[in-house]
Amino acid sequence: MCTLAAAERMLATGKFYSAGTLAAELGISATSASGKLSNIRSSKKYQCVVTPLPNRKVKVVAINGKSVSKQSMWDLVLFKRPLPQGVHA
């Protein structure tokens, strides 16, 4: 799984993730999840909220300036499911 796919999942859920919780949700190792969180925190492509150490957690709020995940947009277009609370297309 690539970092973008992990970030998309994080954006879609709107939750804060530690390496352990991200690993459990995505079915990958905690080491791999930690690397993805590090990439997300350090890349200008992803806008995120980061809690302080210890027990750092990361929440993705936008990817390339877009605050709606691709999956949420597809759900809106194909199935007329509403966007998450506080999000406007």
CA separation, residue 2 to residues 28, 50, 52, 81 (Å): 11, 20, 25, 27
The domain segmentation of the chain, as residue ranges, is 1-77
pLDDT at position 76 over 70: no
In this structure, how many other beta carbons lie within 10 angstroms of the beta carbon of residue 56? 15
pLDDT in tens, 27-72: 999 999 999 999 999 999 999 999 998 989 999 988 888 766 666 6
pLDDT band (50, 70, 90) for residue 84: low
CATH for the stretch 1-77: 1.10.10.10
**pTM exceeding the 0.85 threshold for the entire prediction:** no
Cis peptide before 54 (omega within 30 of 0): yes
Contacts of 47 (CB under 8 A, 6+ apart): 60, 61, 62, 63, 65
pLDDT at 13: 85
Name the 3-class secondary structure at 13: helix
Closest CA to 56 of 75, 33, 81: 33
